[in-house]
Every structure is written in structure tokens, then in C-alpha cells.
Amino acid sequence: MYSTALLLCLLAPLRTDAAPSHSTTSISQAQSGKIVPVTKSQFNFNPFQLTNICLDCVRLNTTAAFSCEVMFNWYDPNSIKENPVSSCVCNYTWAWDGVTGIGENGTDIDNGAYDLCWQGDMTYFEMRLVSFHTAENFTLELGHRYHDDENFTRPWDYPTTFAQVDLQLPLIGKAENKIKHYARGPVNATIYGISG
């Protein structure tokens, strides 16, 4: 079961369907990289979709720290029109003592720095771990810069959209030095903000 789930996790295809929606506006308020909150009346973003979400924590022995890795497929239905790449695989690794929550009380891991999941000339997918309370309860932040000159006018036609997602993944394997969680999804990550 362990290896079947891992295979699923690595090989299952991305979803590529998208629900069309409607909205027009600009993001000129979001200049200088500041994230401005978005509302339904302003924009009509579909959520990011996360699938095949794996969390693997392994350690060499009971006194060593776990090395945890989260990996998932990420699809942005909002970017399908003008962007040759509308999905990617993210893979993010950090150390965990197996007990203490990370990123509580307003601090976060790596001081809020993002890791790139995929990068093109002008566009990218990035993520960071906001908090990790337990393996059953952790939060990611996702940012996607893409091209859209239908809803956005120059120079705002490369918006970056942001979502936070709280993940509670089912446990699928546990041993003294190994913990594995997996959810096939899709899990929706609602877009809350945008920057120019």
C-alpha cells in the first residue's frame, strides 16, 4: 500500500479542466509588490487546485531530526489562456524535531522566504511553509505570477496571485523513523490577494 500510494503520488496526471468566469478590473493599487486583498466583486478567480499531496518525514534514528518533504501538483485554472505553463510540481523540504510546531505566534519558517517551484522568463510558481503545527495540520502559502492582458492592462498584465491553504492530510504510513501522509485531492486554495 505504501509504495502504491507513492506511485500514485508521483505518477497521477494533473487535472486540466477549468470553469470559465467573468470579471474585469485592474490591479494598479497593487503596485510595488504589495499584496492587496481581492474580493469577489473585483475579480472572479477560480481557486488553485492541489492534487497528489504527499507529506513524507524521515529520520535516520530516534535522536536525529526528521527531514520532512511536502510535494504536490499545482494547477492554476486562471492562467490557462495565455500561459503555456499553467501547472507545476512543488517540492519543499525542512527539518522537524517530531514534536514542536513550527511557525506559530506570527513567526514563520525561513522568515517568510519563498521557494520557487517553477520559473519561466517572466512568470513563476512559488511557495512557502507558513506553519506546521503537526503533520496533520499545516499551512502553505502559494504565489503564481502569470500573464493575462485580457483582465489586466499594461503594465499590470503580469499579476501575482496568492492563496493560503490549510492541509489536513490522512496518515497512510507510520514507523519509528518514517511518517507518510497523502491526499489525492483536489484541494482548493482560494486566492485572497494579488500584487502587481
CB of 178 to ligand NAG, least distance (A): 14
Q: Which residue is nearest to ligand NAG (CB)?
A: 23
CB-wise, 26 or 46, nearer to ligand NAG?
A: 46
Compare residues 81 and 85 and give the one whose CB is closer to ligand NAG. Answer: 81
Environment class of residue 106 by beta-carbon count within 10 Å: exposed (0-12), middle (13-18) or buried (19+)?
exposed
Residue placing its CB nearer to ligand NAG in the complex, 65 or 122: 65
Q: Which residues contact 47 (CB under 8 A, 6 or more apart)?
A: 163, 188, 189, 190, 191
**Closer by beta carbon to ligand NAG, 97 or else 120:** 97
In the complex, the smallest distance separating the C-beta of residue 15 from ligand NAG, rounded to whole angstroms, is: 10
The distance of closest approach from Cβ of residue 31 to ligand NAG in the complex, given in angstroms and rounded to an integer, is: 18
Closest distance between ligand NAG and the C-beta of residue 195, in Å? 14
Element (H, E) at 5: helix 2-11
Q: How far is the CB of 117 from ligand NAG (least distance, A)?
A: 10
Burial 2-18 (b: 16+ CB within 10 A, else e): eeebbeebeeeeeeeeb
Radius of gyration over every alpha carbon of the chain, rounded to an integer in angstroms: 18
Q: Is 135 exposed, middle or buried (0-12, 13-18, 19+ CB in 10 A)?
A: buried
Q: Which is nearer to ligand NAG, 26 or 85 (CB)?
A: 26
Query: Contact residues for ligand NAG (CB under 6 A)?
Result: 19-23, 43-47, 60-61, 63-64, 71, 78, 91, 101, 104-105, 133, 137, 150-151, 168, 188
Q: In the beta sheet, which residues pair with residue 144?
A: 125, 161
- What would the grid cell of residue 64 be? 536525529
